[in-house]
Every structure is written in C-alpha cells, then in structure tokens.
Structure 1
Amino acid sequence: MTGLHRRFPALFVVALLVLSSAIPVGAAPAGSLLRIGIDVDAGTLDPRLANDTTARRVIEQVFDGLVELDPELRVRGALAESWTQVSPTVWVFKLRRNVRFHDGAPLTAGDVVFTYTTILDPALRAPLRGLYTPITKVEAVDDGTVRFTLSAPYAPLLKYADMGIVSKGAVERLGAEFAAKPVGTGAFKFVSWQRNSRITLEANPEYWKGRPKLGQVVFNIIPDNTTRAAALESGDVDLIHSPLSPQDVARLKNAQRVRVVETTGLGITYLNMNMVDPVMRDVRIRRAIAHLIPQQTIVKQIYREMDRPATSVLLPAWSGVFTDQIAQPGHDITKAKALLAEAGWTDSNRDGVLDKGGQRLAISVRTHSEDPNRIQVVELLVSILRSSGIDARVEITEFPGLLQALLSGNYQVVLVGWLGLVDPDRGMYNQFHSKGTQNWEKYTNPRVDALLDEGRQKADPAERARVYREVARIVATDLPYFVLTYQGYIVGVNRRVEGFTPIPSGSFRSLWTTSVP
C-alpha cells in the first residue's frame, strides 16, 4: 500500500459473496439474535486476565462488577447494592441478594474476595494489577458483605470496582479452562468460542436486572475493516464499531439500512517508544521523531478528522483536568535534523543514511494489520524518517503478535492505542509509573512516580488537576509516548436494532436493553 488513501472495491465485492457462509445465523429464535462484527479475537474471557478490547466487550456481557459506569462515567451499583467509606482507607460493600452465577451457584462475598485476591497475586500476572495495588486486604465480613482495606486513600477506587467477579468454585473446578469457558453473573451466558471465528452467548433468564430482550449475541471476528463494513451493509451483521476507515464510514452514512453514531471516545492513538532500546533511549532521537510527525496532515488526510489531533496524554473527557496548554514537540523538520546531529548522527560516508561509530541509524516502526488507518500512518512516518536520513522500516503483524512484542520489549517504536481511559489514573499510572503493569516502554522518572502516587490519594478536583497536568508536562518532555490523536468512537448499527446506546468508553453494557424486532 502506498500514499495516503486505500481503495477496496474488489475486497468489497468478495465480502458480499462470502459473508453469508462465513457468518451463520445461529439457533436463536427469529428476531432475537444480534450479530456483532469485531476486528480481532479475544485473548481470554477471564476478566482478571483481559488485556484487549474484544475480550472486555464480551466479558462485560458475561460478568458483572461490584459497580458499573453509566454513559456519563458516574458510578452505579451492580453486584453491590450499596457501599460505605468507613474511613479514608476502609470501604465496605453490601452485595445484592439472590444473585446466582450461570452454573446456579450463589454469589457470595467469598467470590469477591477470591477475585481481588488473585488479581493482586503477582503469580496470576493480571494486566490491570497496578490499578488495585493500593488494596492491602479484602475480607468477607459475612456472605453478603465485603471490606476493602487500603494502604492510603485511593480516589479512583470506585471506578475500578467494575472488575468482573468470577466464581471461585468455577475457577477451582475448571482451572485454566475457565479462561475459555467463563462462568459469570451477567446478562448473557457463555455458549461457545470458535477461535478466530466467533464467540456465542445466550440470554441469562435469571439475570438479576431482568431477562435480556435478546436471545443470543454472536461476536463474529472479521479482521478487515472494509469486509466488516460490507457485512453491515448487506445485513450479515447488525453492529460494528471502530476501527473503521474514513472511506467505509462515508459509505455507511449513505447506506439506507445503517445508522452511524460518532462520539468522542475515551482513547488515544500513540507512538510507544522503547526507553531501553539502544537507539530509542536517547531522548533526542525521540524528540526528533516527534518533530518529524505531520500530525495535522495525518488527522486530515488519513483519519479524515474522525480523530482529533492530541496535545498531550490528557484527554478532553477528563473535565477539570484537561488543558490544551501542554504541548508535545510540534512538526519541525529543521529541529528534528538538528537534534539528530546533536546526538552524533551524521552521514559520514554520504550514502544518504545517518551513522555514528560505524552504525547506521536504523529504526523499526510497528503496528497491527487489523487497522488500515494505523498502517497508513506508519507507512507515511517511515517515508518521512527515510527522507531525513534514518534507515526506517515498517513492520506489520496481527494484534496478538504486536501485543507480545510490547510485553517482551522486542520493539523500538509501536503505533497502538488505548480505549476506556475513564480516569486520569487509568490513563497514566499503569503506563508511566515505574511499577506500572503496562509500562511496556520501561519509562522511569522518580518525579512522575511520586506524582502518580500522590494523585491516587487526592480527592479534591483542583489537586488532582495539578498533579496530572504536571505528569503530562513531564511526559511531553521525556516522550515515552507521542500521543498522535484523541480517538473518535464510531458505531455502525442496523436501523432495525433498538435500544443500543454507544458509550464513549466503548462499553457494550447496553446490550442488556437492546432488541432486534
């Protein structure tokens, strides 16, 4: 693929021919089936281990947390009908009565204790463990009451109490199989999972909120964005969501049977730069790359303004915390070349590639194959790096392979994204604290650590704003990340689908009230 635009006419035709056989209708009664097209398969269906968007969207149908977040990110009771902050470091949750897991076992405080205790156990390697490390003890006061004790006051605790509660008995009975045969309390029960094909759920008639209107939900894995959009147009799926190419979105807006909803998401697209790589650990290299990024051009020509150009790691949705007065390095090729020269990289042998001490300045930029927008961004960036004397190359892998590269540290620069950043702590602690479980870039700054620890203890909005703005300023200088865009969140849905409400966090909680007449 070359240039800033992709065209898919042949692929679109193929999609229309093959999708009817690729996506079965299923056994649900007519009118009660919702078919969702998603871009990648889930990595796990265990909420404690989930580290990808697909997994979380399936998991939130099968599991409930103690609380849930509404579309305005306000905390609402779920499995907990009430809670009390007994002291700055002690919270007590009262569980809803007569809730049962899908296997018939009653929900008890022991299941809540088991869920959080295992997440906090380093042996489980829970990706979101860092969100819960302020918890020092979880106790069952009685079968219907759970007490959390914290090491210090923890402002975002309630927002993080939406973690899906697993059945202790089912986990112990199924062992590792639980991740592929989940047992929860949610609106839908797990039925089957055909890897890289589909995940099927059915209504939970005993759901504590009331039986869902849908009889069955099928998540169909369709990696190519245009094929997925074609499936929605042809009626082979009922709902799709970001990532989508601008060309597909424009076409869907003109499709008679499709409704397109665009919202500002709670996510970012960013360049993750490996701080321990021999080349990338030099901040002058990271700043030079940042100066070479034509951010406005990318937003206008590749994303067609579906996304917004980012100014820092602070999201506009973080009311009271966000400011546009924090600036990352702007597009300036002259400054970029000066930084490269300052770092000692020159074209000593006049072959067009910068070198130092006999080593060529080589940089690999990676992203995943499921998102053509990101592929275009990477290809454009690599072209610009090459024109500036950097021996740059593109590496495209499927998302699981890209995630493995991030986890292992086997990368230099990766273009990827975060979604569901419901709180500044959620968008910063795990990513930038030296002990953060998603600090894949191995960023270490004692001042940032201290600020992030402080921010967790601040309930006052003005104090939180002060802390997180300072973190954002430091990150914009150190550049473990260059935040390219604030993601737009786009959902395409068949007009016959009723009751589905897109939420900026990407949550599909509203499937409980969705129907297909």
Structure 2
Amino acid sequence: MRPLSALFLAVVILLSCSERKRDFVRVGVDVDAGSLDPRLMRDTTAYRVVNLLYDGLIALDASSKPTPALAHRWDHPDDTTWIFHLRDDARFHNGTPVTAHDVVYTFETILDPSLGAPLRSLYTPIAEIEATDEHTVTFTLSTPYAPLLSYLELGIVPRGGEATTGSGPYRLLLWDRGAKIVLVAHDDYWGGAPSIRRIELLVVPDNTARAQAFEAGDLDLIQSPLASQDIRRLAEDPRFESFTSNAPAITYLNFNTARAPLDDPALRKALAMLVDQETILDGIYEGTDRVASSILLPSSWAFESDVRQPQHDAEAAAELLDELGWRDRDGDGFRERDGEPLAIELGTHSEDLNRVQTVEFLQNAFRKHGIDATIRISDWPSFSVRRDAGDYDIILLGWTQLVDPDRVSFDQLHTGGGLNWGQYSNRRLDALLESGRTEDDRAKRAEIYRAAAAIVAVELPYYVLSYQGYHLFTSARLRDYEADPRGMLRSLARSHLAPAP
C-alpha cells in the first residue's frame, strides 16, 4: 500500500471528530457541486445530489429505461404531444403539493435564455407547456423529438420557491462549499421515508486519499473516478462490496477548433495519431477503461464498429505534419510554419490523477515529434471557468449520463451548442443531429448517428480516448444498495444500515 498522503491525513483528522459508530452514511466525492439547482447543474456531483433532492416527471432505472416518478403515467397521442398525469401525493420539502404549475415553471425557466441553463438545448423542441389541471401537464413540441422522455428526469422546482427545495427522498440541511453537503430524510416522501436518515457527501479531491478514507472506515461509499491500483486493492478486500460495469460515459480530448492552428482538421488528425490509446489505458488506467473508436458507446443501439477515428500511428503523423508544412527549419527541435512555432497547450483538472498523467504522457509524445507542447493543470472550478470561456487548446475531460446518442452530440457539436466550447461548426453534421432528434424510427436514427459519428471521426473536434468503466465500493455497514452505472445514488433511499455491533 502506498504511503498515506498529506490530504488523507487531513481527511482522517477531520472525520475523527465524529464517532465511528455513526448512524448515517458518508459518501466520498471528487469535486463539489457547482449548483444544486437542477436547471443549472453541470458536474457529476451536482447530478448525483440533485437526483436525491428532486424528482423528475420520470426516473431512469439502472439500464436508463424511463419509469414513473412524479408522473405516474403518460400519453403520447401524436408525434408532437405528450400528456403527463402527476401523482397527487407528492410534496416539496416545504410541505406544498407538487402541481402541474410547478412543472410548467421548471421548463419555462430552463428554456429562458436569461437563466443560462447549460442543458437548455435538450428542451428547445418544447414549444408550449400547459397545466390543463392541477395534476395534468401537456407538452406540445415544435417537431417530433425522439429522446425527450429520457431527458425528463430533470428535477422539478417549486414555482416561486427556493431552488434547492425539491420533492425527492432527501432534503438539503447544509452545504459547506468545497467541503461537504449534508442531506436528511424527507419524511413525507411519496415513495416512503428513507431508512437512512442522513447522508454526508464529503469532498475529497484526491482519488487515493478518498480510497484510503474508505478503507479506514470513514467513508461508506466511493465510486469512479478512482486510481487503478486502489480499485484492484479494494476489489480484493473481503470487507467491501464491489460493483464494476461499463459506464455510459467517455473520456475525450476536446480540440478548440476556433484557435489556429487547431482550426485545421488535418493538423487535428496528425495530433490524434500521436495518441497511443492502448499504452495510456494499459499503463495509466491499467485496464479500467476500454479503447474507444468513436463518440458512440458500444452499448448504444447506434454503435457501428466500422465507424472509427484515426488510430495510433506516429510515423504517419510525422509524415502528415511534414506535408502540412510543419517542419523543424531552424534545428531547435520544434516544428514551425511561416515563422510560427507549432505550440500546443494541453490541459485537464488536478483532481483526476489518471488524466493528469495522460496529459503528461501526451506532452512527451508531442514534444518527441517536434511539437512545443506545454501543460496547464488546475482545480476543477478554475478548469471549468477556462473551459466554458474557450480558453484552451486541447483539454482532456469526460462526458457522463450518455443515455441517448443525442446526449453526446447535439449540445456539444452542433453549431452554437451550449456545450460547444471549442466552437466547432459543420453544416452537414448540424443537419444530421437535427434529423436524429426528429426521427422516431430507431433503425433510421441509428443510421443518422453513425453518419454523424463518421464526420466527427474525420474532422476530430473530439478525439475519444476511452469508454469509461464504472467502479463502486460500499462498506459492510451499507445494506441493499443497488449500483447504477451512471453513478446516481438514488438507491440510498431504499438502502439500510447494518445494526451497530
């Protein structure tokens, strides 16, 4: 076992202030939530906490299948109409009933551009939302919209109330920014009061420190991202329950196509061919993730193995760089063209050591082939600000919650998309992504997304490093927990704590 890190010692000191025989659950998370308003969430911790605080019209089960939640049933009488019938026993944490008017308010505000909702484009096909009575809401769409139901897990907020007041199985007690989020059971929850009365989510950015705190008994649940060596060690420890699955998630390189020289697809191809996926995933990730071939997940009904991005070929990359005019003309070891050096900055966030090591590996590979590669590593909040502002060349990050091919493509790669930080634009791709939303026939949608993925594999606004694996560990104290490959923690509302010895 590696030596205890300074951060781990700090975590132990912090946790030792409370009794080990506690009657609540502690969950370790890698980053703090940026917002607990479901309309403004943009990080994995926010998604997971929001999923405990709020209910959507529907819930997605562990296989991402829509199931009833606030809506106990729904009708789809024609291509552009959805009618949702709400349960009459759901209440917000402040005691007020959940009504159709709250649903209307939630979606009208997320569609208001002034709110700045990161996921607004997921709902723009909604033309009108009407509360036809207290417990019935009708969505009228501007056009048929195939993935709509999968996106209606969005938490419903109360009209005119606090944004952190939901109707989920837990309510917010305390949010100590950067340190912890404390939730307590919602006793009037329509699904029944949770047996676990309190959940503390502790922010432990260092993956190994988080694993060590779990081993010491100070945390009851941890999940990806985790260091590969910690995953192996914990999986062999009989004290813990483990769960491993393929996640609906990717790790990828995002190219800023608005910045020269990365606005050249041919240069992006040359750089992509310097990415040795197998060595990175074997040597750094140690087999926890799988080599990716495109933006489409292998588990998706749209996946096609023949759609492939460039593979590692350093010799071909060097030849292509030469052809593009990027040559070392002054003997300083770096390529230049028209007097401009080929200088690239690589970036990621400091909380994920695997990503940091990957960026360092890529820096060495790029420099070996005459590219003046530098790196910039910062904490997640600073990294996110820079990313959102388009202040980067190439960054390594991930997408999760990929429950539909639209979820990894439209907002990210459509011209003007809210998550299109690299400002990529391709009118043919735009048309395909728009068609993929309106086509109801799954086989036809699959062909559309394969064509879209083929464009991305050639033009490379994204280079997908890996299909992520999902790893979760729970202590013996936590009983009846059912893992969700999306990393959602909703099962805590149905779990129990073992009696104290």
- Corresponding residue for residue 304 of structure 1: 286
The question of 1:203 aligning with 2:185 is answered yes
Provide the rounded CA distance (Å) in 2 between the counterparts of 1:306 and 1:60: 26
Q: 2:222 aligns with which of 235, 240, 261?
A: 240
Query: Secondary structure, in 3 states, of the residue corresponding to 2:479?
Result: coil
Q: 1:84-126: CA deviations, max 9, x gaps?
A: 1122101111111021110111111111001000000110010
Query: Secondary structure, in 3 states, of the residue corresponding to 1:105?
Result: coil
8 A Cα contact 1:65 1:78, kept in partner: yes
Q: 1:272 aligns with which of 250, 254, 257?
A: 254
The question of 1:93 aligning with 2:87 is answered no
- Corresponding residue for residue 73 of structure 2: 82
Query: Secondary structure, in 3 states, of the residue corresponding to 2:376?
Result: strand
Q: 1:474 aligns with which of 430, 450, 455?
A: 455
8 A Cα contact 2:416 2:423, kept in partner: no
- Corresponding residue for residue 419 of structure 2: 438
Give % identity.
Answer: 44
Letter in 1 for 2:263: R
Query: Secondary structure, in 3 states, of the residue corresponding to 1:169?
Result: coil
8 A Cα contact 2:8 2:210, kept in partner: no
8 A Cα contact 2:221 2:475, kept in partner: yes
Q: What displacement does 1:32 show? A: 3.6
8 A Cα contact 1:32 1:213, kept in partner: no
8 A Cα contact 2:327 2:335, kept in partner: yes
Q: 1:233-269: CA deviations, max 9, x gaps?
A: 0000000111111111112123342222111000000
Q: 1:148 aligns with which of 126, 139, 150?
A: 139
Name which of structure 1's ranges 86-95 and 498-507 shifts more when overlaid on structure 2.
Answer: 498-507
Structure 2 counterparts to residues 142-291 of structure 1, below 5 A: 142-171=133-162, 178=163, 182-291=164-273
- Corresponding residue for residue 115 of structure 2: 124
Query: Secondary structure, in 3 states, of the residue corresponding to 2:402?
Result: coil
Structure 1 portions without partners, runs of 5+: 1-6, 172-177
TM-score by length of 2: 0.97
Structure 2 counterparts to residues 418-457 of structure 1, below 5 A: 418-457=399-438
Letter in 1 for 2:3: P
8 A Cα contact 1:260 1:493, kept in partner: yes
Query: Secondary structure, in 3 states, of the residue corresponding to 2:325?
Result: coil
The question of 1:484 aligning with 2:476 is answered no
- Corresponding residue for residue 174 of structure 1: none
Q: 1:8-30: CA deviations, max 9, x gaps?
A: 4241xx46644333236779x96
Structure 2 counterparts to residues 104-115 of structure 1, below 5 A: 104-115=95-106
8 A Cα contact 1:269 1:417, kept in partner: yes
8 A Cα contact 2:225 2:352, kept in partner: yes
Provide the rounded CA distance (Å) in 2 between the counterparts of 1:340 and 1:18: 48
Provide the rounded CA distance (Å) in 2 between the counterparts of 1:471 and 1:119: 27
- Across the two proteins, how many residue pairs are aligned to each other? 498
Query: Secondary structure, in 3 states, of the residue corresponding to 1:252?
Result: helix
Letter in 2 for 1:146: V
Provide the rounded CA distance (Å) in 1 between the counterparts of 2:76 and 2:17: 48
Letter in 2 for 1:430: D
- Corresponding residue for residue 512 of structure 1: 493
8 A Cα contact 1:15 1:230, kept in partner: no
Provide the rounded CA distance (Å) in 2 between the counterparts of 1:138 and 1:445: 32
Provide the rounded CA distance (Å) in 1 between the counterparts of 2:16 and 2:100: 40
Query: Secondary structure, in 3 states, of the residue corresponding to 2:67?
Result: strand
Go from structure 1 to structure 2 and tell me whether the alpha carbon gap of 1:451 and 1:9 turns closer, same or farther (over 3 Å shift): same
Provide the rounded CA distance (Å) in 1 between the counterparts of 2:99 and 2:59: 18
Letter in 2 for 1:20: V
CA-based RMSD: 1.5
Provide the rounded CA distance (Å) in 1 between the counterparts of 2:237 and 2:485: 23
- Corresponding residue for residue 4 of structure 1: none
